[in-house]
């Protein structure tokens, strides 16, 4: 069966646009424990995913699941508080659906945030890391199936998946804020079990600095549509086997909570610069 994701995305976008007069060109996806940023926007309209036609619902703890459309010092912005993951049982197309809706809303840039395990031994728990590239180990790709030319080409290029321009802006703003910001390669796995220590040694060998269970399908779908991407991970824990302790989702949430002010400060500084770069 082929589903017409383009038409479904159009309908979902029309539903969203009927609730607000704001027409954001930039979006931010807030990962585990980072949803609070959306609460700092003004003139907000909140649209729970459950109300949006065809939209998948977030079930993970720490993800409340709504669009918050509002303004960041006057800049129209759509924030996604919570996302869906493959480990919840969603298909890659469902995971990518919100990106398709953002594309139909006219969004040109997306900032993706996530929680990740730190593989690179130079990282510390709580570090913020710019994703410069990814390795897709999810065994899935949201573009599998007939290509919808409305979205983009059959074989989209991924050499500049994570905008160099945007990364430069993020580094500049982090430096102004006095925030250390590393850069690394994100390995996307499906989860939901954390990795074994042997898997982490393997991921380090193949060039990964970070590991997480999200982001990849969204980036692929966004790039397919020509949307520019900035992605930032919070190293919520050192990956399995690095420290002599078990991993837990509580630790992920606790670290997210601890660094959320820094993360928010960085987003607040970076988002207007990305919007300005688009107009230049
Ligand atoms: N592994 C995979 N995903 C994660 C981790 C991890 O250690 N931490 C946060 N998300």
Q: Tens digit of pLDDT for each residue in 117-132?
A: 999 999 999 999 999 9
Predicted confidence (pLDDT) at residue 57 exceeds the cutoff of 90: no
Q: What's the gap in Å between 174 CA and the centre of ligand 1?
A: 23
Q: How far apart are CA 234 and CA 210, in angstroms?
A: 10
**Could you tell me which residues are beta bridge partners of residue 265?**
none
Predicted confidence (pLDDT) at residue 273 exceeds the cutoff of 60: yes
Per-residue H/E/C for 216-254: HHHHHHHHHCCCEEEEEEEEEEECCCCCCCCCCHHHHHH
Tell the residue nearest (CA) to atom 3 of ligand 1: 212
Best probe residue, ligand 1, of 83, 117, 231 (max atoms within 8 Å of C-beta): 117
Structural domains for the chain: 5-279 (3.40.50.1580)
Q: What's the gap in Å between 167 CA and the centre of ligand 1?
A: 22
Pairing mode of beta strands 228-238, 109-118: parallel
pLDDT of res. 119: 98
Tell the residue nearest (CA) to atom 7 of ligand 1: 117
223-265 confidence digits (pLDDT tens)? 999 999 999 999 999 999 898 888 888 888 888 888 888 999 9
Spatial contact of 135 and 161, defined as CB atoms under 8 Å apart: no
Predicted confidence (pLDDT) at residue 190 exceeds the cutoff of 70: yes
Residues noted as catalytic: 32, 63, 85, 87-88, 115, 213-214, 237, 249
Tell the residue nearest (CA) to atom 5 of ligand 1: 117
Residues having CB within 6 Å of any atom of ligand 1: 115-117, 194-195, 211-213, 236-237, 239, 247, 252
Q: What's the gap in Å between 51 CA and the centre of ligand 1?
A: 30
pTM: 0.94
Best probe residue, ligand 1, of 32, 116, 128 (max atoms within 8 Å of C-beta): 116
Q: What's the gap in Å between 239 CA and the centre of ligand 1?
A: 7
Q: What's the gap in Å between 119 CA and the centre of ligand 1?
A: 10
* Per-residue CA distances from 132 to 60, 151, 207, 242, 279 (Å): 26, 24, 12, 23, 23
**Where residue 1 falls among pLDDT bands split at 50, 70, 90?**
very low
Atom number in ligand 1 closest to CA 237: 8
Residue 268's nearest CA partner among 177, 182, 145 is: 177
């Amino acid at each position: 069966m082929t589903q017409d994701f383009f038409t479904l995305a159009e309908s979902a976008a029309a539903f969203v646009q009927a609730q607000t007069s704001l027409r954001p060109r930039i979006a931010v996806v807030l990962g585990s424990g980072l949803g609070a940023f959306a609460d700092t926007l003004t003139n907000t309209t909140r649209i729970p995913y459950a109300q949006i036609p065809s939209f998948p619902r977030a079930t993970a703890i720490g993800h409340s699941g709504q669009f918050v459309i509002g303004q960041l010092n006057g800049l129209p912005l759509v924030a996604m508080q919570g996302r869906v993951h493959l480990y919840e049982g969603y298909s890659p197309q469902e995971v990518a659906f919100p990106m398709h809706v953002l594309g139909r809303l006219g969004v040109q840039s997306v900032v993706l945030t996530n929680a990740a395990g730190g593989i690179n031994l130079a990282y510390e728990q709580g570090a913020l890391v710019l994703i410069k590239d990814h390795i897709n180990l999810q065994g899935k790709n949201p573009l599998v199936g007939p290509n919808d030319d409305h979205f983009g080409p059959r074989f989209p290029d991924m050499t500049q998946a994570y905008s160099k321009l945007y990364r430069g802006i993020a580094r500049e703003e982090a430096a102004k804020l006095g925030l250390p910001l590393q850069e690394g390669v994100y390995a996307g796995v499906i989860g939901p079990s954390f990795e074994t220590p042997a898997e982490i040694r393997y991921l380090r060998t193949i060039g990964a600095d970070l590991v997480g269970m999200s982001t990849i399908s969204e980036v692929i779908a966004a790039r397919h549509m020509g949307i520019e991407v900035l992605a930032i991970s919070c190293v919520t824990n050192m990956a399995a086997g690095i420290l002599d302790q078990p991993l837990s989702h509580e630790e992920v949430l606790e670290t997210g909570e601890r660094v959320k002010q820094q993360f928010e400060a960085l987003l607040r500084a970076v988002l207007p610069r990305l919007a300005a770069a688009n107009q230049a």
